[in-house]
Amino acid sequence: MLELAARGANVVVNTRSNEAEAETVAKEAESLGARSLVVMGDAAEKATVERMRTEAENAFGGVDIYRDHEADFATRRRSSRRDGSPEVTTDQCWRLVFGSRDRD
């Protein structure tokens, strides 16, 4: 994320619980010239991802790149659904909100 910030990308920092660490990363991104935003919540939950997208669109005018740092583990990490709805992987959740960004 900081590499992207250093190259001019604005960033959304997300964490479930460690807001202080997220704020530190956001400030470091800003020191590299990026604008940043911290959104708390579990990125395996669709509502959190929708909130990140909305806040990024409001703050930055849109989203060009999305990257879940746990994407390599997405097939193993499943969101927990207390309401009985089907479970989805973290990667599937992001695709539901952002749409597929796969390119040849």
Residue 22: per-residue pLDDT: 92
Q: What is the mean pLDDT of the chain?
A: 76
Instruction: Quote the pTM value.
Output: 0.69
3 state SS of 13: strand
Q: What is the mean pLDDT of residues 8-15?
A: 91
Answer for the pair 38, 22: CB distance below 8 angstroms, yes or no: yes
Tens digit of each residue's pLDDT (9 = 90 or more) over 72-104: 444 334 444 455 554 555 555 666 666 655 543
Q: What is the CATH number of the domain that holds 94?
A: 3.40.50.720
Please state the domain count of the chain: 1
- Is residue 103, in this structure, part of any structural domain at all? no
Tens digit of each residue's pLDDT (9 = 90 or more) over 31-54: 999 999 999 998 888 899 899 989
Give the rounded distance of the alpha carbon of 66 from its chain centre. Answer: 7
- Is residue 21, in this structure, part of any structural domain at all? yes
Q: Is the dihedral of CA 45, 63, 59, 25 positive or negative?
A: positive
Across the chain, where does the E strand assignment appear?
11-15, 36-40
